[in-house]
Structure 1
C-alpha cells in the first residue's frame, strides 16, 4: 500500500507544479518594470472622468518600451460617490522617454503611442516620479488646478499587484 500512496503523491505533485507556477504570474510582473502609476482624472474632453492605472515595462534606465493602460470610466455628471463604473478600457502600446525644453527649463517627457485621443497620452515625469499631464498645445507640465488633479502617482513597489494592470 505504501508504494501506491507514494506514487500517487508524486503524480499529484507533478500535476500541481505547473498550476502553481501559472498562478505566480498573477502576483508580480512578468519582467522588469520602469514604473507603475495610478490616479483619477477629471475634466476629460469626452465628458468622462477616469480612474487610471499605467505600467511602463522596462529596466530602471530604459528610454522606451511597452506600456499597459487601464481606465475605469464614469460620466462626469454622476461623480464618484458610490455608483458603479461605466466601463473599463484597456490599451497596450509603446512608450518613449525624452527631454523637452519649456519655459526655460528642461523636462523629462513620457509619450504613450497607441492611446485614443480621449486619453492623455503625454506626461512630464516630475519629482518623486509623479506624472503630470502635458499642457494642451505645449510641451511643459500642466500645473493648473485641473492638471495637478489629473496627475498619476507612483504605486509603491511593495503593493500587491505592482507592475500588473
Structure 2
C-alpha cells in the first residue's frame, strides 16, 4: 500500500478521533461514534483489502482509547474490524456508485448499524450492558445510524473536494 494512502487514512482517522474524544458519553456511558464516519470515508476512498485491515485496526484502537463504556476496549476493536470487513464487500459491490450521495449515505448508515450492533453484542457477552440491549439499540445505535448516514454524505463530499483541490491524483 502506498505511503500517501496510509497518510490520508491516518489523517482522516485522526480527525475522527478528535471528534470522538470530545463527544460526551450519553445513556449508559455510550457515545456517538464520529470516528466511524471517517473510517467509512477512508474505505470509500481506498477500498483495497490492505487498507480495510489497516483502517479497521487503527480505528478500533483509537476508539478503544477514548471509550466511555466500561470494559468497551475490546468490543470497540472487534466492532471496527467486523464493520470494515463487511463494508469492504458492500463497497466493492456498489463501487461504481461511490459518487452517488444516496449510496454513500446508505453505506454510512449500514456501516454504523453493523458497528453498533457488533459492539453491543460483543460488550454484552464480555462485560454486560448497563441497560437492556434493545434500549441501547433504540437510544444510541439507531439515532447514530441516521446521523452518520447524513453526516457521511457531507464529510465524504468535503474530503473528495479537498483531495481534488490539493492535486492528489492517486486517491
Select the structure of larger CA radius of gyration.
1
Q: Same fold, TM exceeding 0.5?
A: no
**Greater fraction helix:** 2
Q: With structure 1 as the length reference, what TM-score do the two structures score?
A: 0.31
**Greater fraction strand:** 1
Q: With structure 2 as the length reference, what TM-score do the two structures score?
A: 0.31
